[in-house]
Structure 1
Amino acid sequence: MSWKKLDKLSQLDQIKEESKGMPVVIFKHSTRCSISSMAWNRMERSWKAEDHDRLSAYFLDLIAHRDVSNAIVSEFGVAHASPQVIVIKDGQVVYDNSHMGINYREVVSIGA
């Protein structure tokens, strides 16, 4: 899977617009956390090529881009967690889960 890097505050407006056409997945990853690495690995292994046509996916290194992570909290009204998957559809959060609660099937079912 080819995830787009989320590393600029300006991308949040782009994501809101993009989510009007298809759901957008944001994976917030802490490079310092083994649980985050495990959750990221599970998502990567599970992702299927056809899911790329139904969901747009962004990857946020929240250690390197804490400002973007904080802006997600403000912009979308979700409490911060790491790792965390947030799905935005029509500009609104429709899925939010973290740690071992991140469920690939739940995420891709939103784009079905």
Structure 2
Amino acid sequence: MAELKDLQSSQDLERVWQRSTETPVLLFKHSTTCPISANAFKQYQTFLESSGSEMDAYMVKVIENRDISNQIAEQTGVKHESPQIFLIRNRKVLWHTSHSQITVDSIGNALENK
């Protein structure tokens, strides 16, 4: 199972961008006070547990780390939403979605199709 890493600094985020030049990465933006985000986070965790993948998986808690969340929006050019998930490869967003569209199946399909 992939280890889920919690981003807490700009340096952590830069490591994600750098890592994406070597392998695809998943990045999840999570609001710890939102029930929709809680459901999406369960989908993300279930995907990571069931996929058998060793891919790099990351999370940003948007309330606790607003600056990192804002950096992601700025660097990707994708409007901030929460919850939100990105598939990143070679410093480019290959796929993203948000809210109830974050499911085990949608994540799996994104990885298969990219």
Normalising by structure 2, what TM-score?
0.86
Q: Which runs of 5+ in 1 are unaligned?
A: none
Q: What residue identity is the alignment partner of 2:24?
A: P
* Aligned length in residues: 110
What pairs with 1:3-18 in structure 2 (closer than 5 Å)? 3-18=4-19
What's the counterpart of residue 30 of structure 1? 31
Q: Is the 8 A contact 1:30 1:62 kept in 2?
A: yes
What's the counterpart of residue 50 of structure 1? 52
Moved over 3 A (4+): 108-112
1:94 CA drift (Å): 0.6
Inter-partner Cα distance in structure 1 for 2:71 and 2:82: 15
Inter-partner Cα distance in structure 2 for 1:44 and 1:12: 20
Q: Is the 8 A contact 1:23 1:110 kept in 2?
A: no
1:107 CA drift (Å): 2.5
Q: Which runs of 5+ in 2 are unaligned?
A: none
What's the counterpart of residue 19 of structure 1? 20
- In structure 2, the residue corresponding to 1:20 is in which secondary structure? coil
Q: What residue identity is the alignment partner of 1:81?
A: E
1:110 CA drift (Å): 4.8
Normalising by structure 1, what TM-score?
0.87
